[in-house]
Structure 1
Amino acid sequence: MWYKKNIETSIQDLNVTPEKGLSDESVLKNRETYGQNKLEGKPKKSLLASFVSQLKDVLIYVLLGAAAITMIIGHYTDAIIILAVVLLNAAIGVFQEFKAEKAIEALQKMSAPKALVRRNGEVKEIDSIELVPGDIILLDAGRYIPADLRLIESSNLQIEESALTGESVPSEKDASITLDSEKTPIGDQVNMAFMSTLVTYGRGEGVVVATGMETEMGKIAKILDEDLDELTPLQKRLEELGKTLGIIAISVCVLIFAIAFFQKRDLFEMFLTAISLAVAAIPEGLAAIVAIVLALGVTRMSKINAIVKKLPAVETLGSVNIVCSDKTGTLTQNKMTVVKMYNGTLWENSNENPDPSFDDLMRTMVLCSDATYDNGEATGDPTEVALVVIAAENQMNRSDLVSKHPRVDEKPFDSDRKLMSTLNKEDQSYRVHVKGALDQLLKVATHKIQDGHRVEMTEKDKDAYMAVAESMSENALRVLGAAYKDVSTQIKPDDMESDLTLLGFVGMIDPPREEVKAAVDDAKSAGITPIMITGDHKTTAFAIAKALGIADSLNQCLTGHDLDHMTEKELIDQIHDYRIFARVSPEHKVRIVKAFKAHGHIVSMTGDGVNDAPSLKTADIGVAMGITGTDVSKGAADMILTDDNFTTIIHAIEEGRNIYNNIKKSVIFLLSCNLGEVIAIVTSILFFWPIPLLPTQILWINLITDSLPAIALGIDKGDHDVMRKKPRDPKESFFAEGAWLKALMGGALIGGLTLFAFYYSIHSAGYAMTDKNLPEALLTHSRTMAFVVLAVSQLFYSLSMRHFEKSIFQVGLFSNPLLIGSIALGILLQVGVISIPFLADAFKVSPLALQDWGRVLLIALIPMALSEIVKGFRRALKNI
């Protein structure tokens, strides 16, 4: 019961010094004792369980039943082939499931919460899974608590503990309190912080007292288990498509069986044919292939610094046409540098240091900051780092200042107030240091410093300050003011920001990222409108936006003040007139997103703060900053940028479009192949011809063409030209832009040419297709021809499916090695089946002569060749 122990006892029991934290040796020792800081989820499905789950399908049950029947009547070879196909198909399914799970696990690790920990006297950010009891954790607003802590320091600290207590109102924490009660409820343990709860205000420090399953959250870990098997909208649509195709396929098979009955065919053979055709016609591998393509796709996206947390976001990315981005760090380099200071006199950063009149300004900026800068290494917010660095360059070391003037209280920064205040100890009194937006400071400042004296500030003085600030902003400088007041006794945070004396302000620059200009151009050519949303001054924002090509007129800028005076209807009606939203609050962001969505736009929104969570959730794609973002923003987002770079958003959209297109290619390819098999069988029955393919042959072809080539198409390399097209309409049918025609044409060609090969073989031997007494050897040879044409034509056709418009030479014949390998393997297996005697006997095929191989390969190339010719005509018409 750590809440009953005081701070000193807690620290002693855990053998740690708060100022230094644990040593590396202590961390290793504690990890051996307590293990990793993670909750145990649901037990993983074993390989056997995964294998069995692959067999839980009605069609598989029917196939197994068919295998049993063939075994009973003595058709052992057929039974073995059917069982082999079922088992091999299940093994491929297990492999696909394994790959998808591994990819998702990797993503979960990358998006896991971080913790700010002090070890070996240094503050560093690590994965929360690495924490051990005794670690000293630093807390600030927006961070999730990574383990159970005994608080050792708190300043206006408030933690939202609804995950444990159900109470939505944040709990106020006080590290100095020691509780006596034996059974103090969690909600009343004011000196404790618990895993998975959220810091909403203030800051503090705590020592880890419990990790993993020993935490309060660990005790209810089973409740926290998440179901990660939820299907994406695309997978749901494809599952419905599969069911529809299944109903159609089974209906066709019943019809085939009925016709065969009246035609007095071998009913058992037709029964097996109907079952095999149903298995071939229903693309049962769709869901697995889509899952693995999505999972591998988002893993690939993580390598370009975009962690997609939710698979449906991949689909949505392809439809994004409005990208709302913050300025600082996303469009700019996030490397702030103070280049000007003003306190009535203007100093510009040159080789000369500022005169002593700026010392108080720099001192307040440093003491009212949480950034650190030692030996050239900086931590903290880039704006605060810039302030600490300029002071250090003028012999004002932050560590020395903090040691001499310790902070005793504070009022943390708030995005509504746009101010931060601290109360620091002077020799015999206290001083309040305030920094923040100049316009906000001027509202609460009553005095200024003039010639070293504190004098009353007039409205004329305020106008003069604002005029200088405006000129700085016009040069893309970020302006930050500083003020102070002296008090004789310690005061409450709510009393800090009044009757202030303005010390002056600084102008900082954060130059645009060099690569963003090209990304903005790419976005525009892709039909995407980039929007800048920032808390910075209007003129500063416009200067950056103009340099990046986001806006070209100051009239395209709307301020938060203007927004407050607009009705929702006015904002919706005028939203397309603006490209920059400056001086906005997080609440304004929600209004902006809703206004764009009211026009049917698909909106992406970036955010990093606690208050950005509503706008991230409101947007179709919420994008959190991985470096500067709080845990709250990361939790609310669909995607996390590990480099906080706007360019990554555009690359992620491009990747999302390519992933969707790859899935589309795989699905159309599978449907074309399956349709070809159905057409070949159904046509032969309707015309009273012999069946061109035996059940085992159908199952074999379905196995080698439905798996590897489809997956290879699904992970095809990206096409940058996808960014020259408009975003996809999310309501658009999966078979839009002639995709249905592509599937029908491909299926008809594959099925028709399979029948042609069968017909040619019989006809060239001098027999008619309707002859009742065809020689068995001729029938076997003809089926071998059809068997090879069907399999190889599907494999070749996959090459043409790589792009619906470009030729195979434009995309690069060998640029997808996995697909080339799949085709080569498929052909090799096909050759093996008809050339190796025991396999040829099993599949009832015969070796082909050299001229027959020439004929089947020539016929098999026709679907691909015709598809390429059609694409060529389409390109020519498009150019005309």
Structure 2
Amino acid sequence: QLDQYTSEDGEISHRIVGDPTEGSILVAAAKAGLVTETMHSAFPRSGEIPFDSVRKRMVTVHSLVDPRMEIAPSAVAGRTEQYAIAVKGAPDVVLGLCTHYLDIDDRSVKPLDEAARQMILAANDELTKDALRVLGMAYRVISTMPEQENNDELEKDLIYAGLIGMIDPARTEVKPALINARGAGIRTIMITGDYPNTARAIAQSISLLRPGHQVRTGAELNEMSDDEMKEVVKTTDVFARVSPEHKMRIVDALRANDEVVAMTGDGVNDAPAIKRADIGVAMGITGTDVAKETADMVLTDDNYATIVSAVEQGRVIYANIRKFVFFLLSSNVAEIMIIFLATLTGLPTPLTAIQLLWLNLLTDGAPALALAMEKGDPDTMQQKPRAKNEPIINKTMGIGIIVQTIAQTGAVLTAFLIGLAWHLEAGAAVPAGMSTFAYLFQHNWNGVDVQTAETMAFMTLSLCELFRAYTVRSERASIFKLGVFSNRWMQYAVGLSILLLILVVTIPFLQPIFNTHNPTATEWGIVFGLAIIPAICEEITKFFLRRADAKERALRAEAD
């Protein structure tokens, strides 16, 4: 219905309440001088057969209480009991129920011959080419109230009244969202009950219909086998004049091609296809309760662009989980390898138990939490979708863990060996002709205090993980592209961890607890030099990953 309201500047205006298609017809009638309230009084509705997606039409029965002859020319003046059967729906379907048509020139009812039929169909085609959604209108006036259960009786010998075209223009944000989705490897398919011409015009206006791709109709799908459907869906961007059964076949064909399918819909008839898809999305505003209950997700604003934004946010969240896992896992594997290799080669343990506890709780924990606050990579929506069976720890992460394990283990053990060489116990000397490092591996370390070497190993590993926390902020983008200081939570986490590390190695009463000492300037220099190596290795790894991604993206662009 049309709801009247007064705007802030005092002007009386109207807004559509309810179905937009019905509302647009009321607006058109109001512009022609037919006020809704007056029409309801003059032609009260006494019966109805609701719209059905299979029948593609709706029937209403009205009592002609006060018939206006200028808009009801078939009514008989003076007759007390008259009823009008009004039918609206798909133009070709409604036309098939008619035997006469209303001539617009002299407002007379004439037999519907083939010439008139072709004229009406041609007018319909012209309207659909302009992206208009077209409804056919027909009616019949009778003298007795019909039995509404008898569709055949209601819908016979109708008079074709004309066509009404309406447009539901795409929102301005839809076209950019479609392009954004395509860059992310997401293919959008339009499935509609509109005519092919209408669907094609709309799809072309928003760049949904790609060059070389097709528009198919439900009638064509009826002639195809399931195997043929699997091939057709690869090159069809628009399906027009489809039924609910066709929607399910389309979903099944896409899933048979190992695609992850999200299906949107708002009506009761959409529910089976929504349920069949991997992800069912119902409209929150225009959606029926059945569609909402069937769906996995409800779109509160009925906006396609919101789906694309949700995909982007989902990717950001998933990427942050991967960064968190990668950072902690690579750090822990490196710690294990440091202890394992030192023990295997006969060296003292580079890290004490309390130092390891400190590393896991503070040095690793705080930056890992800051990674969860990342806003996402600049190219989040240029990456292809991950395979649905891909684990969190995939090949790329596995390579990163190996690289980081080698880099961190090498840096920490190097710092540890340098600390051992600089601070051998009194009386120990490297035999002539033997390298210092070879001597360290065969030296008897029982009872020897290796506090200096442990301090250097502890500081090196701590700074390795803190420096590397910046490079882990993106799986592929360079830290300089992201901006070193763009995540303020990372500054807080790293700053706090470095401050606490300095306190642990410099405050006297903490030194015995953590078995540390106050490092010299030379020791600090060695520690910083070695600690930056894993971060550099991470950036080099990401450089090669970016090169591989660029090649794959170029190949994908050629395929499209």
User: What residue is the counterpart of 1:572 in the other structure?
Assistant: 230
- For residue 820 of structure 1, the aligned residue among 484, 487, 491 is 491
User: 1:541: Cα distance to partner?
Assistant: 0.7
Task: Check conservation: 1:676, 1:752, Cα contact below 8 A.
Answer: no
Change (3 A) 1:766 1:558: same
User: What residue is the counterpart of 1:426 in the other structure?
Assistant: 64
Change (3 A) 1:702 1:554: closer
Change (3 A) 1:878 1:474: closer
Tell me how far apart the structure 1 counterparts of residues 245 and 535 of structure 2 sit (CA, whole Å).
55
SS in 2 for 1:494: coil
Tell me how far apart the structure 2 counterparts of residues 869 and 567 of structure 1 sit (CA, whole Å).
51
TM-score, normalising length: structure 1: 0.55
Equivalent runs, 1:477-556 vs 2, <5 Å? 477-495=132-150, 497-499=154-156, 500-551=158-209, 556=214
Equivalent runs, 1:101-120 vs 2, <5 Å? none
User: What residue is the counterpart of 2:10 in the other structure?
Assistant: none
Indicate yes or no: 2:44 matched with 1:406.
yes
Change (3 A) 1:503 1:553: farther
- For residue 465 of structure 2, the aligned residue among 791, 794, 798 is 794
Q: Which has the higher contact order (CA 8 A, sep 6+)?
A: 1
- Structure 2 residue runs of 5 or longer lacking an equivalent are 6-12, 66-80, 426-439, 552-560
User: 1:838: Cα distance to partner?
Assistant: 4.1
- Cα-Cα RMSD: 2.6
User: What residue is the counterpart of 1:732 in the other structure?
Assistant: 390
User: What residue is the counterpart of 2:215 in the other structure?
Assistant: 557
SS in 2 for 1:510: coil
User: 1:456: Cα distance to partner?
Assistant: 3.4
Task: Check conservation: 1:535, 1:585, Cα contact below 8 A.
Answer: yes
Tell me how far apart the structure 1 counterparts of residues 266 and 37 of structure 2 sit (CA, whole Å).
28
Tell me how far apart the structure 2 counterparts of residues 663 and 615 of structure 1 sit (CA, whole Å).
31
User: What residue is the counterpart of 2:266 in the other structure?
Assistant: 608
User: What residue is the counterpart of 1:637 in the other structure?
Assistant: 295
- For residue 125 of structure 2, the aligned residue among 470, 483, 492 is 470
Alpha-carbon deviations, 1:47-71, whole Å to 9, x = none? xxxxxxxxxxxxxxxxxxxxxxxxx
SS in 1 for 2:141: strand
Tell me how far apart the structure 2 counterparts of residues 403 and 835 of structure 1 sit (CA, whole Å).
91
User: 1:588: Cα distance to partner?
Assistant: 0.8
Indicate yes or no: 2:454 matched with 1:454.
no
- For residue 414 of structure 2, the aligned residue among 736, 740, 756 is 756
Change (3 A) 1:855 1:617: same
Task: Check conservation: 1:679, 1:752, Cα contact below 8 A.
Answer: no
Q: Which moved more, 1:806-815 or 1:493-502?
A: 493-502
SS in 1 for 2:208: coil
Alpha-carbon deviations, 1:396-435, whole Å to 9, x = none? 2223322443333322222112222222332243323222
Change (3 A) 1:750 1:539: same
Change (3 A) 1:549 1:873: closer
User: What residue is the counterpart of 1:861 in the other structure?
Assistant: 532
Q: Which moved more, 1:756-765 or 1:652-661?
A: 652-661
User: 1:477: Cα distance to partner?
Assistant: 1.3
Change (3 A) 1:702 1:714: same
SS in 1 for 2:326: helix
Task: Check conservation: 2:319, 2:376, Cα contact below 8 A.
Answer: no
User: What residue is the counterpart of 2:55 in the other structure?
Assistant: 417
User: 1:552: Cα distance to partner?
Assistant: 5.5
Tell me how far apart the structure 1 counterparts of residues 382 and 95 of structure 2 sit (CA, whole Å).
48
User: What residue is the counterpart of 2:93 in the other structure?
Assistant: 440
User: 1:507: Cα distance to partner?
Assistant: 1.3
Tell me how far apart the structure 2 counterparts of residues 490 and 625 of structure 1 sit (CA, whole Å).
38
Indicate yes or no: 2:513 matched with 1:842.
yes
Indicate yes or no: 2:310 matched with 1:657.
no
SS in 2 for 1:847: coil
User: What residue is the counterpart of 1:718 in the other structure?
Assistant: 376
Change (3 A) 1:719 1:772: closer
User: 1:498: Cα distance to partner?
Assistant: 0.9
SS in 2 for 1:507: strand
SS in 1 for 2:445: coil
Tell me how far apart the structure 1 counterparts of residues 272 and 216 of structure 2 sit (CA, whole Å).
21
Task: Check conservation: 2:415, 2:453, Cα contact below 8 A.
Answer: yes
User: 1:733: Cα distance to partner?
Assistant: 4.4
Tell me how far apart the structure 1 counterparts of residues 170 and 548 of structure 2 sit (CA, whole Å).
42
User: 1:535: Cα distance to partner?
Assistant: 0.8
Code of the aligned partner of 2:128? S
Tell me how far apart the structure 2 counterparts of residues 372 and 554 of structure 1 sit (CA, whole Å).
45
Indicate yes or no: 2:362 matched with 1:704.
yes
Tell me how far apart the structure 1 counterparts of residues 212 and 468 of structure 2 sit (CA, whole Å).
54
Tell me how far apart the structure 2 counterparts of residues 874 and 449 of structure 1 sit (CA, whole Å).
69
Task: Check conservation: 1:605, 1:622, Cα contact below 8 A.
Answer: yes
Task: Check conservation: 1:671, 1:747, Cα contact below 8 A.
Answer: no
SS in 2 for 1:616: helix
Task: Check conservation: 2:254, 2:261, Cα contact below 8 A.
Answer: yes
Q: Which moved more, 1:703-712 or 1:818-827?
A: 703-712
Alpha-carbon deviations, 1:738-775, whole Å to 9, x = none? 32121121122223322222222121113546433555
User: What residue is the counterpart of 1:599 in the other structure?
Assistant: 257
Tell me how far apart the structure 2 counterparts of residues 843 and 464 of structure 1 sit (CA, whole Å).
93
SS in 2 for 1:433: strand
Q: Which has the larger radius of gyration?
A: 2
- Structure 1 residue runs of 5 or longer lacking an equivalent are 1-369
Code of the aligned partner of 1:802? R
Tell me how far apart the structure 2 counterparts of residues 877 and 505 of structure 1 sit (CA, whole Å).
56
Tell me how far apart the structure 2 counterparts of residues 454 and 876 of structure 1 sit (CA, whole Å).
72
- Equivalenced residues, count: 509
Tell me how far apart the structure 2 counterparts of residues 871 and 554 of structure 1 sit (CA, whole Å).
36
User: 1:468: Cα distance to partner?
Assistant: 0.6
Identity value in percent: 41
User: 1:604: Cα distance to partner?
Assistant: 2.1
Task: Check conservation: 1:373, 1:379, Cα contact below 8 A.
Answer: no
Tell me how far apart the structure 2 counterparts of residues 664 and 554 of structure 1 sit (CA, whole Å).
38
Code of the aligned partner of 1:464? M
Alpha-carbon deviations, 1:203-247, whole Å to 9, x = none? xxxxxxxxxxxxxxxxxxxxxxxxxxxxxxxxxxxxxxxxxxxxx
SS in 2 for 1:741: helix
Indicate yes or no: 2:543 matched with 1:852.
no
Tell me how far apart the structure 2 counterparts of residues 484 and 802 of structure 1 sit (CA, whole Å).
67
User: What residue is the counterpart of 1:808 in the other structure?
Assistant: 479
Tell me how far apart the structure 1 counterparts of residues 222 and 541 of structure 2 sit (CA, whole Å).
56
